[in-house]
Amino acid sequence: MQSYVTLFFVSFILCLIIILSSGYGFSRRGEVDEVAIQSAHSGFVPRVGGLAVYISILVLIPLLSFGFIPLSVVFELDAVQITLLILSAIPVFSVGLAEDLGYDMSPRARLVASAVSSIVAILLFGTWLENLGVPGLDTLLMFAPLGILFTIFATVGVVNAFNLIDGLNGLSSYVTVSVAVSLSVIAFQAGKIQTSIYLVLVVAAVMGFMVLNFPMGKIFLGDGGAYALGHLLVWSSIILINSASETSAFAILLVFFWPVADTGLAIWRRWKLGNPADRPDRLHFHQLAMRFLEIRFFGRERREIANPLATLILIPLISAPQVLAVLFWDDFGATVWSTLVVAVVFVALYLIGIGLAKRGRNRNA
């Protein structure tokens, strides 16, 4: 509890400092954010909350071995392994933070940084995805070069998916917390107490940011925070899968379902329209939810209400796959069927949302 409170307040205080000093050091790209097509808020909001969150996670390193009561002593945690995992996020965090501070980082540079962090993790831990329970694919993954390439591809995809959901007040922080809690429960059920405790401590750091991000939206994670947290969570899941073979890979997919599915739809949507995959738009699921509330109830002038309310509406959809993952974490068949059902429901609801958005646009026209 002492460590949890410490991480929470370090994150909270750093976020407050960023908010209060945003006009002096963090507003370089404010005008760009305000007119961006995917923008879901009015006025300038600092988007470097990830800096506060990652610094607070770095504080976990001295707490592991040099705290008043070292965590590694109390819980028999492997301080070296946790430290290496935290530090492996530095490449992707640094590039994302540079983008948040107003220095243009191309999509290719961010993808490369994500891949570099994954390669660092592979080198540090000597592990990658080798067994997903899928006949044929598992045979290919046994060949180390293919397994490593697949792991890099999968992790880069998840890391970038976390960045795409940082728009509505509280959305990215809730997804991060719910993913971490779900993985922590699965790790506990699998007997991997170290992973479970580490993920709970990450939640503490995110919660210090979340209370300022929701409902008022005083600060956002930004690319740096989204990339770093996505990296830390996806690599925690890979370490969990490889250390607890009974864990279903599809249970992990259910945990990460929301950001992964939303990104998959974005790629498909932009391909169908002939647009580059990295071109922003405002047709993500969370943006449709907010626009529905604006069109039907509040109007754009009440976005400060529609924005956080859209996040609350989406919480059951985000959490339902995670609940299934926790319930069936070691049942491969049940998690496969759960994934299929959830995917069908997700696509159906998205298509309904697109229809409502078009109807609203035609009405306004």
Tens of pLDDT along 14-27?
Answer: 999 988 887 655 55
CA torsion, points 267, 227, 256, 355, in degrees to nearest 10? -40
Beta strands in the chain (DSSP E): none
Q: Is the pLDDT of residue 203 over 60?
A: yes
- As a whole number of angstroms, the distance between CA 37 and CA 281 comes to 6
Q: Look at the block and give the residue holding tokens 């939206």.
A: 217
Is 230:159 a contact under the CB 8 Å cutoff? yes
The whole-number pLDDT of residue 278 equals 64
pLDDT in tens, 59-83: 888 887 776 667 766 666 788 888 9
The whole-number pLDDT of residue 316 equals 93
Who wins on pLDDT, 266 or 86?
86
Q: Is the pLDDT of residue 271 over 50?
A: yes
- Mean pLDDT score across all residues of the chain: 85
The whole-number pLDDT of residue 5 equals 87
Q: Is the pLDDT of residue 354 over 70?
A: yes
Q: Is the pLDDT of residue 352 over 90?
A: no
What is the chain's Cα-based Rg? Answer: 20
Q: Give the list of residues 6+ apart from residue 300 with CB closer than 8 angstroms, or none.
A: 294
Mean pLDDT of 124-130: 90
pLDDT band, very low/low/confident/very high, at 293 (cuts 50, 70, 90): confident
The whole-number pLDDT of residue 296 equals 73
The whole-number pLDDT of residue 281 equals 65
Q: Is the pLDDT of residue 120 over 60?
A: yes
Q: Give the list of residues 6+ apart from residue 10 with CB closer than 8 angstroms, or none.
A: 52, 55, 56, 59, 205, 208
Residue 17, judged by CB atoms within 10 A of its CB (0-12, 13-18, 19+), counts as exposed
pLDDT band, very low/low/confident/very high, at 279 (cuts 50, 70, 90): low
Q: Comparing C-alpha atoms, which of 351, 173, 158, 129 is closest to residue 261?
A: 158
The whole-number pLDDT of residue 323 equals 97
The whole-number pLDDT of residue 61 equals 84
Who wins on pLDDT, 358 or 193?
193
Most confidently predicted of 20-29, 33-42, 62-71, 161-170:
161-170
The whole-number pLDDT of residue 235 equals 95
Angle at 321 between CA 169 and CA 196, to 5 degrees: 85
Per DSSP, the three-state class of 126 is: coil
Q: Is the pLDDT of residue 237 over 90?
A: yes
Q: How far is CA 208 from CA 19, 29, 174, 177, in A?
A: 13, 24, 12, 11
Residue 364, judged by CB atoms within 10 A of its CB (0-12, 13-18, 19+), counts as exposed
The whole-number pLDDT of residue 38 equals 45
In percent, how much of the chain has pLDDT > 90?
A: 48
- As a whole number of angstroms, the distance between CA 88 and CA 195 comes to 16
Q: Comparing C-alpha atoms, which of 321, 322, 301, 297 is closest to residue 310?
A: 297
Q: Is the pLDDT of residue 37 over 50?
A: no
Q: Comparing C-alpha atoms, which of 92, 87, 94, 74 is closest to residue 4?
A: 74
Who wins on pLDDT, 36 or 257?
257
In the chain, where the domains are located: 2-364
Ordered DSSP codes for 132-196: -S-TTHHHHHTSHHHHHHHHHHHHHHHHHHHHHT--STTHHHHHHHHHHHHHHHHHHHTT-HHHH
